[in-house]
């Protein structure tokens, strides 16, 4: 018969083994004290994007009819912009993302799951990049579908993938799940935030399968740590 302490140690070991046997998408991810994913803080990342070396040929608008004021900036390892966040609810039809909850709902996304299905905005954190146009062509700068991004709002960091494309002249949009994870109202009609969101996209990165958020967090944290320590 095991003593209580031995039984506790054995149970803990079994729990660790069981967790390690889970697929990456089912494991919980480490968070910082403020609920951010991973251990790289918002302040660390923001310190690397204080200045802008503009790589876009012009400036983007936050919304149709608003002034064009937002540049896409670049470093050796990443591209970034600072904008608002509109809510993208496109893709798989769910209880919170459908034609009733979102008048602009589209049942598809520019990039698909490994099974060729639309992404699920309600569950998968993803961001929207402007479609290729005269201002900027994301593929020319190492950005691709399934690429890894760190999204920052306040003191929170969430990792996401490049999941959809938007208008060629407007920037600042992410999935329902991205907004929810950052504490931003995810309602596609009335949610989002007017400012204060930083999007950092890591060049030449990709998550496969694109729907594996745990893999995006793991890769994103490694790239973010490299970005803040190695620079560039």
pLDDT for position 6 = 34
Give residue 92's Cα distance to chain centre.
18
- Low pLDDT (below 50) residues in the chain: 1-29
Q: Tell me, what's the pLDDT at 36?
A: 83
CB atoms within 10 A of CB 20: 8
pLDDT digits (tens, 9 = 90+) for 85-142: 999 999 999 999 999 999 999 999 999 999 999 999 999 999 999 999 999 999 999 9
Q: Give the model's pLDDT for residue 38.
A: 85
- Among 115, 146, 129, 155, which Cα is nearest to 213's? 146
| pLDDT (0 to 100) of residue 31 | 54
Q: Which residues contact 188 (CB under 8 A, 6 or more apart)?
A: 87, 88, 89, 97, 101, 102, 104, 105, 176
């Amino acid at each position: 018969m095991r003593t209580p302490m031995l039984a506790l140690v054995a149970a803990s070991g079994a729990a660790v083994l069981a967790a390690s046997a889970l697929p990456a998408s089912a494991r919980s991810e480490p968070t910082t004290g403020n609920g951010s994913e991973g251990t790289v803080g918002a302040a660390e990342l923001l310190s690397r994007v204080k200045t802008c070396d503009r790589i876009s040929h012009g400036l983007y608008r936050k919304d149709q009819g608003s002034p064009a004021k937002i540049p896409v900036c670049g470093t050796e390892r990443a591209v970034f912009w600072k904008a608002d966040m509109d809510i993208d609810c496109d893709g798989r039809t769910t209880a919170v993302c459908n034609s009733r909850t979102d008048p602009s709902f589209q049942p598809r996304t520019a990039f698909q799951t490994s099974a060729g299905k639309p992404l699920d905005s309600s569950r998968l954190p993803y961001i929207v990049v402007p479609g290729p146009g005269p201002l900027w062509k994301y593929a020319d700068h190492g950005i691709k579908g399934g690429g890894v991004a760190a999204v920052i709002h306040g003191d929170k960091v969430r990792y996401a993938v490049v999941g959809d494309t938007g208008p060629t002249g407007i920037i600042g949009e992410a999935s329902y799940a991205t907004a929810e994870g950052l504490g931003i109202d995810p309602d596609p009609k009335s949610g989002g935030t007017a400012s204060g969101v930083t999007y950092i996209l890591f060049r030449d990165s990709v998550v496969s399968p694109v729907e594996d958020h745990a893999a995006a967090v793991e890769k994103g944290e490694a790239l973010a740590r490299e970005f803040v320590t190695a620079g560039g």
